């Protein structure tokens, strides 16, 4: 009984399903922020390093129109593009509206099957 008194005295409330959802939402938002921050740092270093590489190649007598000058930005850019799809694309390609459309489609298909 003393435990209940201590809990009430400190205004600690038991978990409810709503608080679980809020906690899950916070964890998802925190992960999304971490992913977004990681992408922005990746993009920053992509720009900074590739400017440095291209400037160094050209200033040391390399041709600006040579494939080797642009190979690092090209292939790293492909990787950056996949990173962008991983961060931004999954919500656009498979977001809530897509899920709702698919659920509706599956339910209609099943309903037609039983009619």
Q: What's the pLDDT score for residue 10?
A: 62
Cα separation, 44 vs 50, in Å, equals 10
Question: How does pLDDT run across 46-80, given as a tens digit for each residue?
Answer: 999 999 999 999 999 988 899 989 999 999 999 99
Which two three-digit tokens encode residue 21?
């959802």
Cα separation, 22 vs 24, in Å, equals 5
Cα separation, 14 vs 3, in Å, equals 13
Question: How does pLDDT run across 77-111, given as a tens digit for each residue?
Answer: 999 999 998 888 766 666 778 788 888 888 888 88
């Amino acid at each position: 009984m003393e435990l209940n008194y201590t809990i009430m005295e400190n205004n600690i409330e038991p978990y409810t399903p709503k608080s679980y959802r809020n906690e899950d939402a916070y964890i998802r938002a925190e992960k999304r922020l971490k992913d977004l921050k990681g992408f922005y740092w990746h993009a920053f270093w992509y720009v900074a390093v590739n400017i440095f590489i291209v400037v160094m190649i050209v200033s040391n007598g390399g041709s600006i129109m040579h494939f080797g000058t642009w190979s690092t930005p090209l292939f790293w850019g492909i990787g950056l593009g996949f990173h962008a799809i991983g961060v931004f694309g999954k919500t656009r390609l498979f977001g809530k509206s897509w899920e709702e459309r698919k659920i509706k489609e599956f339910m209609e298909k099943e309903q037609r099957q039983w009619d």
